[in-house]
């Protein structure tokens, strides 16, 4: 019987590298065959169309003028064939999507909580954190649907480490194929524990590498105005939320929700990495995420009421998720405590629009700088991007939100 790839957490990168090497060798053979078939078949097409023989043209400086290198990358289909979904993972994602859809759709009166590291960088710490959330899910199942932030694409800085999926060794080696395999392996492990995952994809191609594993997708503040991102999300199988823009525009997020709820036709790629025309049905789970901006927070009762009015004016359901971090905490991780306290008060007071809360949380509080020349010097369990609250604080925040959800239900 075939075995699922399930190495110890501290060997996930090692095994991912072996898998990537094998799959890249397969891809080289596939590409050679494609080149051979093109060389055999395309001249016949030109002949049938009555086209003249092509002339050799000097294209120096016209093509790839700023491309310093080009490497093969593993395909989604190849990765999925070696790192397949387990029955446990499939059941976790299916249940997670069902429950999150019901919460956003106001059919489930529990509160969604998307919690976890600002960004993933260490497989062992990631799996340990997932174990903590597994315990929390069991403790608060009646009141909260807890989903783990498993963000392997880091969108915040303009020029820096781009995230685990792109540079899994944290040293500038940028072994993307290894990162893509390891990302899928991590999500398989986490969902195998019964913990649904959330992601924030930045690239048009990366979602296919974790197809069937993601319960909740967030579209970040810097991507919310991108029409191509809105169209892609219209075909996502996961529940999706749109953050307000960095300048604080709620209207931008609402426009994104409307666009994503519509059907679209656009150019994409299939699971073999081949260009394809994609047709979508639209994603009716789309909703707004309030994350504040550089000038201040937007989680207050007045902000929630204003957002409800904007949604109502556009004929959309009056539901939203609030990010306790980012602009709402003004990048001070401890301020998340105050944000959650305020939100819990609104929820306990009967505010039904708030369907979920996002929390940046890790094994250890705070953050640390990443030195790509010495990644081995990093402190275990501490964020290398935005600062996070620790496990004890996270557990207390869960308790507060669960209590608020119970009061709202009783009211």
Q: Residue 106's pLDDT band (boundaries 50, 70, 90)? A: very high
Tell me the CB-side half-sphere exposure of residue 152, using CA atoms within 13 A: 27
Query: Who has greater pLDDT, 238 or 156?
Result: 238
Judge whether residue 158 has pLDDT over 70: no
Length of the chain: 411
To which residue do tokens 């029955």 refer? 87
Q: What's the pLDDT score for residue 259?
A: 97
pTM over 0.85: yes
Q: What's the pLDDT score for residue 204?
A: 87
Distance CA 277, CA 47 (A): 27
Q: Residue 128's pLDDT band (boundaries 50, 70, 90)? A: very high
DSSP summary character for residue 359: E
DSSP output for 172-216: S---HHHHHHHHHHHHHHHHHTT--EEE---SSSGGGGGTTTEEE
Judge whether residue 330 has pLDDT over 80: yes
Topology annotation, domain 76-367+378-410: TIM Barrel (3.20.20)
Q: Residue 253's pLDDT band (boundaries 50, 70, 90)? A: very high
Q: How far apart, in Å, do the first and last CA atoms of the chain sit? A: 53
Mean pLDDT of the chain: 95
Q: Residue 160's pLDDT band (boundaries 50, 70, 90)? A: confident
Q: What's the pLDDT score for residue 340?
A: 98
Tell me the CB-side half-sphere exposure of residue 120, using CA atoms within 13 A: 33
Q: Which long-range contacts (CB under 8 A, 24 or more apart) does 209-212 make?
A: 209/76, 209/79, 209/80, 209/180, 209/183, 209/184, 210/183, 210/184, 211/76, 211/80, 211/237, 211/271, 212/85, 212/89, 212/90, 212/93, 212/237
| Region 37-41 average pLDDT | 96
Tell me the CB-side half-sphere exposure of residue 124, using CA atoms within 13 A: 8
pLDDT tens digits along 165-212:
999 999 999 999 999 999 999 999 999 999 999 999 988 899 999 999
Distance CA 99, CA 143 (A): 12
Which residue in 326, 353, 355, 348 sits closest to 339, CA to CA? 326
Q: Residue 1's pLDDT band (boundaries 50, 70, 90)? A: very low
Judge whether residue 131 has pLDDT over 90: yes
Judge whether residue 318 has pLDDT over 90: yes
Kindly report which listed range (47-56, 74-83, 98-107, 245-254) carries the lowest average pLDDT score. 47-56
Percent of the chain with pLDDT over 70: 98
Judge whether residue 157 has pLDDT over 80: no
Distance CA 73, CA 395 (A): 40
Q: What's the pLDDT score for residue 155?
A: 60
Angle at 128 between CA 122 and CA 130, to 5 degrees: 100
Q: From residue 8, give the alpha-carbon distance in Å to each of 5, 45, 150.
A: 10, 52, 18
Judge whether residue 22 has pLDDT over 70: yes
Distance CA 365, CA 388 (A): 5
């Amino acid at each position: 019987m075939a075995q699922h790839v399930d190495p110890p957490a501290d060997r996930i990168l090692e095994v991912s590298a072996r898998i990537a090497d094998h799959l890249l060798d397969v891809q080289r053979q596939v590409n050679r065959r494609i080149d051979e078939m093109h060389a055999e078949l395309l001249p016949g097409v030109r002949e049938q169309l009555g086209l003249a023989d092509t002339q050799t043209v000097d294209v120096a400086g016209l093509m790839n003028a700023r491309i310093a290198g080009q490497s093969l990358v593993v395909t989604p289909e190849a990765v999925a064939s070696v790192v397949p979904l387990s029955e446990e993972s499939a059941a976790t994602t299916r249940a997670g999507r069902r429950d999150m859809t019901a919460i956003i759709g106001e059919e489930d009166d529990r509160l969604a909580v998307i919690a976890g590291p600002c960004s993933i960088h260490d497989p062992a710490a990631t799996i340990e954190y997932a174990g903590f959330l597994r315990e929390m899910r069991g403790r608060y199942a009646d009141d909260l649907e807890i989903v783990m932030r498993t963000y392997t694409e880091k969108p915040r800085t303009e020029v820096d480490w781009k995230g685990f999926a792109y540079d899994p060794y944290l040293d500038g080696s940028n072994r993307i194929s290894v990162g893509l395999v390891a990302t899928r392996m991590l999500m398989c492990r986490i969902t195998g524990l019964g913990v649904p995952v959330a992601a924030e994809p930045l690239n048009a191609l990366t979602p296919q590498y974790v197809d069937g594993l993601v319960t909740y997708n967030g579209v970040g503040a810097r991507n919310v105005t991108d029409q191509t991102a809105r169209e892609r999300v219209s075909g996502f199988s996961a529940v999706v939320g749109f953050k307000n823009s960095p300048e604080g525009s709620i209207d931008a997020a609402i426009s994104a929700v409307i666009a994503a709820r519509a059907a679209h036709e656009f150019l994409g790629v299939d699971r073999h990495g081949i260009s394809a025309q994609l047709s979508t049905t639209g994603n009716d789970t789309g909703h707004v995420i309030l994350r504040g901006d550089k000038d201040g927070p937007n989680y207050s009762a007045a902000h929630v009421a204003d957002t409800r009015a904007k949604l109502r004016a556009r004929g959309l359901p009056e539901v939203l998720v609030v990010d306790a971090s980012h602009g709402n905490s003004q990048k001070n991780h401890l301020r998340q405590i105050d944000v959650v306290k305020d939100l819990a008060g609104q929820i306990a007071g009967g505010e039904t629009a708030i369907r979920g809360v996002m929390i940046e949380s890790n094994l250890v509080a705070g953050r640390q700088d990443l030195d790509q020349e010495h990644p081995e010097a990093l402190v275990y369990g501490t964020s290398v991007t935005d600062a996070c609250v620790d496990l004890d604080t996270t557990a207390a925040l869960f308790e507060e939100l669960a209590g608020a959800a119970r009061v709202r239900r009783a009211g």
